[in-house]
Chain A
Amino acid sequence: DAGVIQSPRHEVTEMGQEVTLRCKPISGHDYLFWYRQTMMRGLELLIYFNNNVPIDDSGMPEDRFSAKMPNASFSTLKIQPSEPRDSAVYFCASSPDRDDEQYFGPGTRLTVT
């Protein structure tokens, strides 16, 4: 298996633009997680899905953030409009079960200028 795939790996955009991050989980994993990592706040859970259904989005910072999982092999995290404080590394992870090892993708490094 190729592991968790994320795209793009790097994204530089201007404030106010829409940003869409993409994730393909490991086949057969029922759970998908989106995290954000910064030096100041560490690794923060934004939202997670179980069988394509959002379960807990309490970590989503505000309405500018939205996430979807239209099928078992694809998820998106969208920021609209983006702001400089959104600059971070965004990781997607998947796991067979909620309490199992989480497999992380390589991350998307987002810079908003």
Chain B
Amino acid sequence: RKEVEQDPGPFNVPEGATVAFNCTYSNSASQSFFWYRQDCRKEPKLLMSVYSSGNEDGRFTAQLNRASQYISLLIRDSKLSDSATYLCVVNIRNNDMRFGAGTRLTVKP
């Protein structure tokens, strides 16, 4: 089993749709979790951290499920500009941060 796994997609959704991505991790002792966004031919950039209690930033909601060892990202009212690849990042052990392979999202008019 990979240390960090994501559904690669692609997810193709219409504008205004709600879409959710999951990311599973193998080390139950992992403490830190993040979502990054990467636009085509650009570098990854931090979208949001994921806190134990869940957190929201505008249309984006991140949640952590420790029992099942996954994090999720929910995007509401999706915009064309949300089209990108979303990478989950997990601190798997001893401050070793690992990136998932990414989930590609395309929002269509």
Contacts and interface: CB of A to CB of B under 8 A. Distances in A.
Interface stretch (A66-74, A80-88, A102-110): A102-110
Contact of B98 (A45, A91, A99, A101): A45
Contacts of B42: 106
B17 interface: no
Interface string B5-34: 000000000000000000000000000101
Given A104-B44, A107-B43, A99 B99 contact: no
Interface in B78-109: 87, 91, 95-102
Scoring A35, A43, A91, A107 by chain B CB atoms within 10 A of each residue's CB, the highest score goes to A43
A39 B103 CA distance: 12
A56 B96 contact: yes
A56 B97 CA distance: 12
Question: What is the predominant secondary structure among interface residues of chain B facing chain A?
Answer: strand
B44 A42 contact: no
Interface residues of B, number: 18
B97 A99 contact: yes
A98 interface: yes
B96 A105 contact: no
A42 B100 contact: yes
A42 B34 contact: no
B92 to A, nearest CB: 11
A42 B85 CA distance: 11
Nearest to A3: B43
B66 interface: no
Contacts of A105: 43
A40 B99 CA distance: 14
Q: List the 5 shortest-distance A-B pairs measured between CB atoms, nearest first.
A: A42-B101, A104-B43, A98-B95, A43-B99, A101-B46
Interface of A: 35, 42-43, 45, 56, 91, 98-99, 101-102, 104-107
Given A43-B44, A99-B91, A107-B43, 13 more contacts: A35-B99, A42-B99, A43-B102, A45-B98, A45-B99, A56-B96, A98-B97, A101-B46, A101-B49, A102-B44, A102-B46, A104-B44, A106-B42
